[in-house]
Chains A and B, each alone.
Chain A
Amino acid sequence: MNRISLDNVTKVFNQGRPNEYAAIRGVSLTIEPNKVTCLKGPSGSGKSTLLSMIGCLSRPSSGRIHLGDQMISGLPERFLTDIRRHTFGFIFQQFNLIAGLSVIENVILPAYPLAPDHQSLMMRAHELLARFELDHKADSQVQWLSGGEAQRAAICRALINNPQILIADEPTANLDTKLSHAFMGQMSQLRKLGKTVLITSHDPVVFDSPVVDSVVELLDGSVFLGEEHAA
């Protein structure tokens, strides 16, 4: 089980230019494994930037990020991609499914660069779809899915490489309350499976949810206040 710890992490965009802008300023925090953590804050508070650094999508300007014993903040992109593929699953705002492809094709996309055996990959994908009650839609195109189905397809895609940590960026931004609650239900299911879940949101349905173990509030790129929730 890998704990994620951030030590005085900053991220500066357009460094050295007149429009220089610090999105994250000296954030230190620890994300416990097998918990659901929520990064909360208004838009522009730096949630997504922080999330992308934790998820190895980008690197901090300064400071360190550890994944377990490994320092990931200094690794070159090639290694970051490798870690990202095996360790993280991503769920994006608007789900970012690729239109025109079928549900199953979308779900197995993250596995392509790893090139697993096709048969076992398809089996795994169908298992995942079945778990999220989407198996009957496997061959339909993603643009015909309802909001809830698209959301579940996105979760399946995030899980296809069996990652330890799941990262969700504003997952409920385009969902109604009912679907948002359903999403949180799915997150608790994932925690039961032993996954670490990291969510950014400014949606009370998310950060007030009993599923969330801890909330980290961000404001203008710094940790505003840490609040512990009872699970």
Chain B
Amino acid sequence: MTILGFLIPLALAMGLAGLYFFFWASRTGQFEDLDGAANRILIDEDGEG
């Protein structure tokens, strides 16, 4: 049962890290243009797209 003392804080820390990452992503505008990112990889860097 002592393993719980390690696993529970670990699970919580990972959850909190995920939550923090989501807050960061939404604050820095990562969700502003979801379809654009998917399309951008198709752009040819040289010559007319």
Do A and B pair up? The answer is no
Question: Which B residues contact A (CB, under 8 angstroms)?
Answer: none
